[in-house]
Amino acid sequence: MQTVIGRYEERDLPVPRAASGEVVLRIRAALTCGTDLKLLARGHPKIALPVTMGHEACGEIVEVGEGVAGFRVGERVVPGVSGPCGVCADCRAGRENLCADGHADRMWGTFAEFVRVPAGVVKANLHRVPEDLSDTVAAFLDPLASVLHGWNRLTHRGTRFLIYGSGALALLWTLVVRGRGAHATVAGRRPDRLRLAASLGADALDVAGGAPGRFEADVAIDCTGETQIWARLPDLVRPGGQVLLFGGCAPGASVAYDATRLHYSEISLLGSFHSTPREAREALEALASGLVDPRPLIAETGRLSDLPRFLEAQQKGRGLRYAITSE
Ligand SMILES: [Zn+2]
Ligand SMILES: [Zn+2]
């Protein structure tokens, strides 16, 4: 069958089998994510099509491959997306998020009844779910881990955070910043999202008319992936402030900065990508302890058959996250 970017359909596929080092999960809860929509809209340089979409999920182990230690059938787990090798220079330096091998066989395909977890993920980044943590909340492990990675990238945090953007990740940032006792301002264009941000304890800043001229944050976090926002953020932190470039821009994008401002006001620009297995464990602990409660971000819960409707709604900007559960 011909593969066309932008088109998806339901197909009957054979149940995957666990090769050596792998496990197979029966999906209990899967979340929609903007990355799935991007993949659908423009394909992905590293993902061959056709592909089963979905990558944020909680499942139950139904098959354990040869040589897998530490996991057994019946356990509830959440996989991280990558499986860092543990031996390259980046891994040894604690930057497993940058491990090139870790992204070679990524965890993908959770909009299905069953999914194969690659050996690298089983070995380094598969997490047992505490008993009283729900499937749907546990499925937030990957996006929350990336937020905690961003948090860990900051070298001094101060007390005032400007979170630019009002999507799901921006609101997860809000929960983390508020949970750690700092002040959060969420800059967004949509009144419904800003209201949600306010209900999570943030100050809402309406930027429908453009970014403010000045803002005195200690840390500004981009959650938009828009180059014109990246360019403006150094003006929105105080001298000595940090700008965290968290939302990925389109491939090939470039940004020009006011060099004088960066130099004389000592503004730091920090990239932030993905997360490490340690941060995935931190995320699971934060979800289990209730320190981060992402449930207000879920627009609706349904079955796999609801996925087309959910993706369409999310594409139109209605709802931040949709959850698909098996029971
Ligand atoms: Zn995601
Ligand atoms: Zn590595």
Cα–Cα dist 186/193, whole Å: 9
Quote the ligand 2 centre to 148 CA distance (angstroms). Answer: 20
Confidence band, pLDDT 50/70/90 cuts, at residue 248: confident
Q: Of the bound ligands, which one is closest to the alpha carbon of residue 120?
A: 2
Q: Which ligand is nearest to the CA of 321?
A: 1
Find the mean pLDDT for residues 117-146: 97
Q: How confident is the model at residue 3 (pLDDT cuts 50, 70, 90)?
A: low
Cα 321 to ligand 1 centroid, rounded to whole Å: 10
CA of 122 to the centre of ligand 1 (A): 18
pLDDT above 70 for 1: no
| CB atoms near residue 120 (< 10 Å) | 25
Distance 222 CA to ligand 2 centre (A): 27
Tell me the per-residue pLDDT of 141-190, one tens digit each, with 9 for 90 and over: 999 999 999 999 999 888 999 999 999 999 999 999 999 999 999 999 99
**Closest ligand by atom to 88 CA:** 2
pLDDT mean across residues, the chain: 94
**Quick one: pLDDT at residue 175?**
98
Query: What pLDDT shows up at residue 36?
Result: 87
Lowest model confidence (mean pLDDT) among 5-9, 76-80, 318-322: 5-9
Closest CA to 186 of 249, 236, 255: 236
For residue 55, report the distance from its CA to the centre of ligand 1, in Å.
6
| pLDDT tens digits, 13-52 | 999 999 999 999 999 999 999 888 888 888 877 778 888 9
What value does the mean pLDDT take over residues 78-90?
Answer: 96
CA of 127 to the centre of ligand 1 (A): 17
Provide the H-helix boundaries in the chain.
Answer: 34-42, 89-92, 119-124, 135-138, 141-153, 168-179, 191-199, 227-232, 259-264, 277-289, 307-315
Mean pLDDT of 191-200: 97
User: Which residues touch 69 (CB under 8 Å, ≥6 apart)?
Assistant: none
Read off φ and ψ for residue 39, nearest 5 degrees.
-60, -40
| Degrees, nearest 5: CA angle 290-283-242 | 110
Write down the pLDDT at residue 103: 87
Q: pLDDT tens digit string along 208-217?
A: 999 998 899 9
Reported as a single tens digit per residue, the pLDDT across 55-67 is 999 999 999 999 9
Query: What element of type H or E holds 322?
Result: strand 321-325
| Distance from the alpha carbon of residue 244 to the mean position of ligand 2, in angstroms | 24
Q: How far apart are the CA of 44 and the centre of ligand 1, in A? A: 14
Distance 129 CA to ligand 2 centre (A): 25
pLDDT at site 167: 95
Residue 309: pLDDT band (50, 70, 90) is very high
Tell me the per-residue pLDDT of 252-301, one tens digit each, with 9 for 90 and over: 899 999 999 999 999 999 999 999 999 999 999 999 999 999 999 999 99
Using the structure block, give the residue that is written with the tokens 């150094």: 234
Q: Which pTM does this prediction carry?
A: 0.95
Q: How far is the CA of 142 from the centre of ligand 1 (A)?
A: 7
Percent of the chain with pLDDT over 90: 85
Centre of ligand 2 to C-alpha 89, Å, is 7
